[in-house]
Amino acid sequence: MQPRHRSVIIAARVLLGLFLLMSGVTGIMAGMNGMEGIPEAMRPASQTLWDTGIFQMIKVTEIVAGLMLVVGFLPALAAIFIAPVAIGIIVFNLRVAPANLPAGIIVCLFNAYLGYAYWDKYKALFTRP
């Protein structure tokens, strides 16, 4: 992490973390209240995911990764942790609720930026021994 970009990285990390925290907590609350507050187009698919337990797993992942990003505890790990969820958000929004696609794109862009910012920590994952 370069010192001159440190404040931008921290801002991106905290904003993404807060968004994930909000999404995770409101998603869990909506699921416990019969999908109240979830857009109508997303309710059947979200209810199916809730019934199988996948929805809860995704939302807990968002909460944990969001907390990690906000407090700065292993943020590079949190960015990897949330990457599949970010891709899932894009796919879900494309297929079920295209009106919510901008939020998914923003999450992916923030996650991609953090991936770039923490690339020095990821390099070993992409090199052959």
Environment class of 46 (CB within 10 Å of its CB; exposed 0-12, middle 13-18, buried 19+): buried
- Show pLDDT as tens, one digit a residue, over the chain (129 residues): 555 688 899 999 999 999 999 999 998 998 888 887 777 888 888 888 888 999 899 999 999 999 999 999 999 999 999 999 999 999 988 998 888 899 899 999 999 999 999 998 888 888 887
**CA distances (Å), origin 70, targets 36, 84, 95, 103:** 27, 19, 30, 19
pLDDT of the residue at 3:
57
Q: What is the DSSP string of 54-84?
A: HHHHHHHHHHHHHHHHHHTSSHHHHHHHHHH
**Backbone phi, psi, residue 101, to 5°:** -60, -40
